[in-house]
């Protein structure tokens, strides 16, 4: 009978590939979530009531519903609604793409709040001074406010990346072979070593998240020192 270490060594390549896929999903979702977050974050601080309402509905819905349910809506529900148009997830990357979309939309709501908080942390006098120099609201926000807010937001953005990394485990439900799904497959082939295999999966997450947490703390100290 194969020992746990035999199983671990034989599945090392698949775990490495699964870890890479997990990080890739989390990184892509963070990039797209940042774009979504900037848009809805600006909507939130806007004086336009319609934009504020749109942002409030989006953020409220995403933060008030589970990521798992959102994933089902995007992967199964959206595919069914768009079926008459010929839309199929497998034509654009399958479950992986659907997973990135779900994670991006989910993280985007939290990024919007992070960006709102970062913008509001910048002294209002900065915007007033920029406007008095003749800059438009958009130019002042892009050139003056957001660059200053970015350093305030950076530790929270890294923390959101950690959350998204762990949330990729939920995407295993639609068949993406990230760390959790790979753990299921390896455990199914080594039924007598299930506990040990899941501990290994947990350690992969722990190592990556610990490294990112340390990075976030270093960045936070540097930002605090810079102030």
Angle at 70 between CA 163 and CA 182, to 5 degrees: 60
CB burial readout 33-45, b (16+ within 10 A) else e: bbebbbbbbbbbb
Please state, in angstroms and rounded to a whole number, the distance separating the CA atoms of residues 103 and 25. Answer: 8
Phi/psi-derived region of residue 111, left when phi > 0, alpha when psi is between -120 and 50, beta in every other case = alpha
Residue 46 per-residue DSSP state: -
User: Between 94 and 122, where is the model more confident?
Assistant: 94
Contact yes or no for 164/29 (Cβ under 8 A)? yes
Give the closest residue to 51 by CA, choosing from 120, 118, 112: 112
Residue 65 per-residue DSSP state: S
The set of residues, in sequence order, having a beta carbon less than 8 Å from that of 40 and lying 6+ positions away, is 54, 55, 58, 59, 108, 109, 112
Phi/psi-derived region of residue 66, left when phi > 0, alpha when psi is between -120 and 50, beta in every other case = beta
Please state, in angstroms and rounded to a whole number, the distance separating the CA atoms of residues 216 and 210. Answer: 10
pLDDT tens per residue across span 99-115: 999 999 999 999 999 99
- Per the document, the length of the chain is 227
The encoded tokens of residue 65 equal 């519903």
The encoded tokens of residue 35 equal 């774009």
Residue 192 per-residue DSSP state: G
User: What total of structural domains would you count in the chain?
Assistant: 1
pLDDT tens per residue across span 154-176: 888 988 999 999 999 999 999 99
User: Between 227 and 220, where is the model more confident?
Assistant: 220
pLDDT tens per residue across span 133-152: 887 877 888 888 888 888 78
> Per-residue confidence at 3, pLDDT binned at 50, 70, 90?
low
What pLDDT does 171 receive? 94
What pLDDT does 56 receive? 94
Q: 151 lies in which domain range?
A: 4-226
Q: Is the pLDDT of residue 87 over 80?
A: yes
Residue 26 sits in a domain whose CATH number is 1.10.3720.10
């Amino acid at each position: 009978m194969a020992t746990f270490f035999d199983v671990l060594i034989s599945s090392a390549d698949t775990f490495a590939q699964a870890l890479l896929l997990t990080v890739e999903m989390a990184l892509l979702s963070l990039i797209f979530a940042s774009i979504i977050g900037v848009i809805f974050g600006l909507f939130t601080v806007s004086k336009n009531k319609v934009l504020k309402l749109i942002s409030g509905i989006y953020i409220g819905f995403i933060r008030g519903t589970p990521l798992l349910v959102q994933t089902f809506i995007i992967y199964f529900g959206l595919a069914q609604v768009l079926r008459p148009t010929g839309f199929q997830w497998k034509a654009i990357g399958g479950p992986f793409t659907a997973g990135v979309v779900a994670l991006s939309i989910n993280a985007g709501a939290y990024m919007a709040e992070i960006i709102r908080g970062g913008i509001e942390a910048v002294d209002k006098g900065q915007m007033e001074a920029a406007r008095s120099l003749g800059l438009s609201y958009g130019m002042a926000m892009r050139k003056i406010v957001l660059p200053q807010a970015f350093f305030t937001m950076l530790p929270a953005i890294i923390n959101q990346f950690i959350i998204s990394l762990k949330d990729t485990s939920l995407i295993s439900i639609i068949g993406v072979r990230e760390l959790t799904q790979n753990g299921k497959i390896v455990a199914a082939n080594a039924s007598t070593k299930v506990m040990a295999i899941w501990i290994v999966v947990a350690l992969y997450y722990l190592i990556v998240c610990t490294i990112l947490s340390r990075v976030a703390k270093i960045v936070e100290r540097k930002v605090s020192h810079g102030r």
